[in-house]
């Protein structure tokens, strides 16, 4: 059975990862690759419902405070569904899967931000994800302040123009985001073979070129042997 290539994008809200994922998808498709994109939470019908509960800042008005372990478990419920419904079938068909966030986000946000610790998150990953790991993780890590300012501007715009509200996380304190930033740095130091940190705060096109270079280097040996 052919095995595709699994790439995840990670970073703080406002790091620019979603824009870069879309641009990479366009470039790889133009090169003739079969590309499947998705985001977490979301990417399936069940996942979209979970996303709405977890990201809408109005959720807690009707549901009450969401317990951090319940939040973590819902992130993994979303992930389990996406793995079964989208990721594994796409990889089996030989596609390149580009996923906007994966388990590193749970480790950074729930493990670091919510202070549940990495071990609990990694144990849940082992129990739920059936050994699935990204082949490559692009970690966009521009300076914290730049990311936060961008995320807050974007969410205000989105609320005004689309009436959507995905502000539940963005309302958290700067301290919460500092813990996430630290957790991402620790993940990058631990998983050097998989995680490529991109710390420059350059223009979109420059970062796009850097990412395309990294991905083409990773894909080259696979293309030669297949």
3-state class (DSSP) for residue 6: strand
Between 77 and 93, CB nearer to ligand TMP: 77
**Distance between CA atoms of residues 211 and 215, nearest Å:** 6
First-to-last CA distance in the chain?
12
Q: Closest distance between ligand TMP and the C-beta of residue 101, in Å?
A: 4
Between 55 and 219, CB nearer to ligand TMP: 55
Provide CB contacts within 8 A for 26, sequence distance 6+.
Answer: none
Member of 6, 169, 177, 181 binding ligand TMP (CB under 6 A): 169
**CA 52 to centroid of chain Cα atoms:** 16
Per-residue x/- marks for ligand TMP, 4-23, CB under 6 A? ---------x----------
Which residue, among 120, 44, 35, has the nearest Cα to 79 in the 3D structure? 44
**Distance between CA atoms of residues 33 and 30, nearest Å:** 7
Between 24 and 219, CB nearer to ligand TMP: 24
Between 37 and 106, CB nearer to ligand TMP: 106
**Distance between CA atoms of residues 190 and 59, nearest Å:** 35
The interface region with ligand TMP, picked from 104-112, 194-202, 209-217, 218-226 by CB under 6 A, is 104-112
- Please give the size of the binding site for ligand TMP, defined by CB under 6 A: 12
Binding site for ligand TMP (CB under 6 A): 13, 39-41, 55, 75, 101, 105-106, 109-110, 169
């Amino acid at each position: 059975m052919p095995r595709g290539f699994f790439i995840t994008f990670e970073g703080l809200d406002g790091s620019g990862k979603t824009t870069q994922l879309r641009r990479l998808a366009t470039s790889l498709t133009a090169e003739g690759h079969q590309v499947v994109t998705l985001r977490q939470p979301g990417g399936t019908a069940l996942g979209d419902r979970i996303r709405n509960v977890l990201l809408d800042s109005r959720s807690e008005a009707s549901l009450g405070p969401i317990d951090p372990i319940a939040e973590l478990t819902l992130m993994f419920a979303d992930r389990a569904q996406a793995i079964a419904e989208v990721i594994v079938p796409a990889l089996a068909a030989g596609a390149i899967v580009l996923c906007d966030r994966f388990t590193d986000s749970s480790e950074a946000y729930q493990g670091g931000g919510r202070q549940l610790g990495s071990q609990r998150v990694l144990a849940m990953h082992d129990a739920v994800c059936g050994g699935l790991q990204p082949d490559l993780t692009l970690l966009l890590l521009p300076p914290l302040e730049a990311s936060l300012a961008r995320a807050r501007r974007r969410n205000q715009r989105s609320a005004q123009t689309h009436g959507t509200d995905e502000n539940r996380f963005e309302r958290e304190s700067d301290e919460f985001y500092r813990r996430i930033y630290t957790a991402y740095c620790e993940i990058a130091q631990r998983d050097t073979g998989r995680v490529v940190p991109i710390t420059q705060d350059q223009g979109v096109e420059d970062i796009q070129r850097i990412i395309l270079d990294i991905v083409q280097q990773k894909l080259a040996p696979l293309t030669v042997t297949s």
